[in-house]
Chain A
Amino acid sequence: MQCKKVTASREKLLDPAATEWSSIPGESLTMAATPLANQPSEYIKASRDERQIGKVKSLMVQSAHNGSEIFFRLTWGDQEADTKITDNNIFPDGCGILMPLNGGDPPIEEMGTKDFPVNAWFWRADFNDKAHNTVARGLGTTLFSEKCPIQTKSLFGQGAWAVVFTRPLAVPDQKEETAQLAAGKAIKVGFAVWEGSNGERAGLKSFSKEWRELTLDA
């Protein structure tokens, strides 16, 4: 996957509907259910059917940077936006970007390990575009960092969600909490989507199965 170097302004790229995105290359990823056998809860394993998990089967990912900030635009089809927890049995839509926190090859389907943590950028429809920056060291260990260097902007229309994430490439004061990126370098990335109407939350989601190599233009 390519992260294209662009000159468009931050304001433009942060807008999921901006025309600038039409000239940025993207890739359509096949999404699959997270493995039920790995769920860190016997209850979840006993009460779910893997075939019912991961309602979103395909995700379009585009990426660009302007030398100081990186942008991702995630788009996927959804008949209805689930934006608020209006009752106990209602769950909002969400999406996330995953990358190794300090490089290496952490297992993507296990959300990293103690020694090889992963960094997730997490957007949920009920967060009012206040993204979460999280670190995980294994399944069910995700913790939010207090300071979040990520910004998101989302848009729902014509049966699709479009969510843009942006973050400075380098965040030197949060090295323990968020992955450090640089132009000309490659990183591993993974993606996840939660379909709220399907009761998807926590580890119940669709994901991109394996790491993808994302090369940032020099």
Chain B
Amino acid sequence: MAEQDAAQLQLQKEQRAKQLAEEAKSIKAKLRYSKRQVAMVFDLNKCLGCQTCVVACKTLWTRDEGMEYMWWATVNTQPGKGTPRDWENMGGGFRDEEPEAGKLPVTSDFGEAWEFNYEEVFFGGKGNSVHLQPSGNPDWGPNWDEDQGGGQYPNSFYFYLPRICNHCTHPACLEACPRNAIYKREEDGIVVISEERCKGYRFCMEACPYKKIYFNHARVLSQKCIFCYPRVEKGVAPACARQCPGRLRFVGFLDDENGPIYKLVKKWEVALPLHPERNTEPNVYYVPPISPPRFDADGNIDESKPRIPTAYLKYLFGDKVEATLDKLKAEMAKTKAGGKSEILDTLIAYEWKSLFGPFTKDPAELEPRKV
């Protein structure tokens, strides 16, 4: 009898757990829902690694206490360990629709916000004897392995990879949060963290396969790129995009058939998500880098092999990358032969504002916020 009772109780518990899971699932579906989706396309053939986007974001959003080490926008040299260090090997995301365990990146993986001896060098009369240097003995930072890249001379290579939060369609962070503090904004699909609900438990940070969530130690909560939604709401492009001197950051709605995003991602399929195998469906897409040719052993140009190994690009952007590169090369051949290419014209962005879809407004024209 006791055994029967125990079995009955176990069954009840299992049924209740199932019920709770169903309820949680329907809450998550609501938090994930958005009517439209903003997205960005980064053309990696144009990124010059100047870090202007990085500083534009830093200046605007992450200057408060607890945010010193945060870089919501980063640009790293590929191949490289990236920011935080080795983020690609920290797990997270989904496999066969099941969430995958992830690792928490620690502060030293991001790199501390170093203090420099500005006073001493610039104002202390030691300008000729003391070097400007960070205090402590830093061994990693957000752009530590800049321009190291890969390959062997004369076939060494590298390119820059700008990253922000991917504002995923199926965000691992949103799925992970036990407090339902993370949601997609219904009007534009921007993923945000409610600072009222967040208690700093950091499951989101574990689950994000892109490691684009930061823990604020001063406020004991998690923070991340907000796609500059206060600007977007006013028709202004995010700061990282508008400040980009290379004209490589396209912004717009994914379903706007007249906008550059739709054309590059859906119509022409020349922009791909980063690490699509993580199954979060990112909404930042990349035009993959076209390689220069290799040199052979005699120092002659060998057109048959790309300098950047295709396997490496497949690792980053999935199997579609080959077809995408072929398409881009075909378009280049077309223009070389005197033809016209709408794809290349779009990517070149002759008209600066053509990058920004509906978000072309000059922020200087906005009413200053009343404080």
Contacts and interface: CB of A to CB of B under 8 A. Distances in A.
The prevalent SS among residues of A at the interface is loop
Interface residues of B, number: 36
B107 A202 contact: no
B220 interface: yes
A141 B178 CA distance: 9
Given A38-B17, A110-B20, A43 B207 contact: yes
Nearest to A144: B199
A85 B220 contact: yes
A89 B178 CA distance: 17
A47 B179 contact: no
B203 A37 contact: no
A35 B17 contact: yes
A10 to B, nearest CB: 30
B104 A88 contact: yes
A41 interface: yes
B107 A41 contact: no
A40 B31 CA distance: 14
A37 B21 CA distance: 8
Contacts of A43: 99, 172, 175-176, 203, 206-207
A151 interface: no
A197 interface: no
A41 B178 CA distance: 5
A110 B13 CA distance: 11
Contact of A47 (B99, B107, B199, B200): B99
A41 B177 contact: yes
Interface string A14-55: 000000000000000000000101111111101100000000
Contact of B100 (A37, A41, A44, A46): A46
B202 to A, nearest CB: 6
A186 interface: no
A175 interface: no
Contacts, number: 82
Contact of B107 (A87, A139, A142): A87
Interface in B157-181: 172, 175-180
Interface in B22-57: 24-25, 28
A139 B21 CA distance: 11
Contact of B206 (A39, A47, A110): A47
A201 B175 CA distance: 17
A140 B176 CA distance: 12
A139 B180 CA distance: 10
Given A47-B206, A89-B104, A41 B199 contact: no
Given A43-B175, A44-B176, A202-B201, 17 more contacts: A39-B178, A40-B20, A41-B176, A41-B178, A42-B25, A42-B99, A43-B172, A44-B203, A47-B102, A85-B220, A88-B106, A88-B202, A89-B106, A139-B20, A139-B178, A141-B179, A202-B178
29 contacts: A35-B13, A35-B17, A37-B17, A37-B20, A40-B24, A40-B178, A41-B24, A41-B176, A41-B178, A41-B203, A42-B98, A46-B98, A46-B100, A47-B102, A47-B206, A85-B200, A85-B217, A87-B106, A88-B107, A88-B205, A89-B104, A110-B20, A139-B20, A139-B24, A140-B178, A142-B179, A142-B199, A201-B202, A202-B199
Interface of B: 13-14, 16-17, 20-21, 24-25, 28, 98-102, 104-107, 172, 175-180, 199-203, 205-207, 215, 217, 220
